[in-house]
Structure 1
Amino acid sequence: MINLLRAELFKLIKNKVFWTLTIIVTVVFALLHYLITIGWWKVSNSFVDSGLELFTSFALAITPFYFMLFLSTLAGFFVANDFMIGVVKLFVMGGHRRSHIFLAKLLIFALGSIILTVVCPLFVTFGGKLLFGFGEMTDPAAIGYFARSLGLFLLHLMGFVTLLILIALLVEDSGKTIIISIVLAVLISVADVMRPLPGFLETLYQYSIFHHLTDSFRVTMTHSDVIESLLVALCTILILVFCGNAVFQRKEVK
């Protein structure tokens, strides 16, 4: 398992698409952060309400449609592409257990996703503060709220990452993976705008990771809200990991 993790990490480090996406995410978010900080783009969100104006632009980074564009591309060229060029076949022929191959790929893909979705925006945010004095924290005590929200967000992001892995396993094609993922991101955005959804769909959406991804940053959350968010994230991860591993176990590797 350790050797598989090292191999997947080496592949991620050497992946040109990953580094291209890292540069693009950093540059795009830096531009958006600058426009929001100088007041050219007026926004109001939970970070402003909680006294953490420094993180105002971070609300864009946690928008599903925004980060789905990058993560779907990474999933296509880091996961699905391995089936097309025969990398997975080499791992299987090397005697590695399929469950270990799946978990190693999932963990390293999750690491890359966290770098693109969270690390790059935070790097820009703190870098802008240190170098140019961009942003303020009028209520430093609210940093606890940010830590709690970010922790919940990362759990739901892990569920999202597992879903992308499952899509990549099913289609085994980088282009199809990207297209399906972007269509899913559009549907999520439309569902959020149209809320409340009719009947059962509203309940289904309310207890999905898609809703809790952004709801994690709600300023006021009771203990029951936090527990509900944790249960939704953990149950989703477990179900999707089980499904992904089951699909991989039965897949004919060419």
Structure 2
Amino acid sequence: MSLLEQKKNHYVELLHGEEIALADISENFKDCWLYDGSVKINHRTIGLFNIESSAHKYKSLILSSEMEPVVTKLRTGELIGKYREANNYNYLIHKKVMEEVFEQSIYKFPEIEPDFLFVPLEGPSKGNVNYINFTMLNDVRAISNHESVLSFYNHLEIIIPQRIQSLEKHLDRAFEYYTVITYFSDSYKVDKESLSFVTHWEGAYPRIKKELAGKAVQRTSRNNYQRLVTKYQTKKLFPSAEDMIVIANFFLMYKSVF
């Protein structure tokens, strides 16, 4: 049996074994991961996990439904940044619009595309946040007062140090953001009227939460959504009055020197 076959078999054993604690994810997968310096995330990605440690040179672990675990020297934040750049994803505009629609500041905003939803998990935020793909979730359950389990459709189960009430609220809100953006954005080609897009996802959990989609789209209207998008697109293209003053002062100083 080749080394690659051994890694594949070990990975399958882990998927069908006991739950894996998020804090131990690096130790559990180290014997079956492969290095890929050019790995890209997509709708088949199950999660991006911070494994930065003095014990090895890798910073992120990428779990996928179509390949063995992959590690890279890039932080999860860098992987997400590369994705945004390659796909021209308007992260900040979407975030600002959702803050107005839901009337609250958003600390960790998800990565949203029609066929996936990467939700950042709670915890330290220093460029290496853990992300899970909501579309791959099968179930969420509590195992103690302060720990919950994320179960994915490929049998992977991860224990995270978060109360079930807090976790479910975080996931629900991310799904609501997804629904509003996909429903009102003209560039998102999904079956909007029936809100049946969740039926194409691998995980069962989004279908359990489908009623949230109908409630979410009632928070705003198409006209108001487009107005907010235009508002923040304009702010991105044209600086505020305060910014213009700073820029003008800079050029005046530059001109006086030269």
TM-score bracket for the superposition, by shorter chain length: under 0.3
Higher relative contact order by CA 8 Å / sep ≥ 6: 1 or 2?
1
The structure with the greater share of residues assigned to helix is: 1
Structure number with bigger Rg: 2
Structure 2 length normalisation: TM-score? 0.24
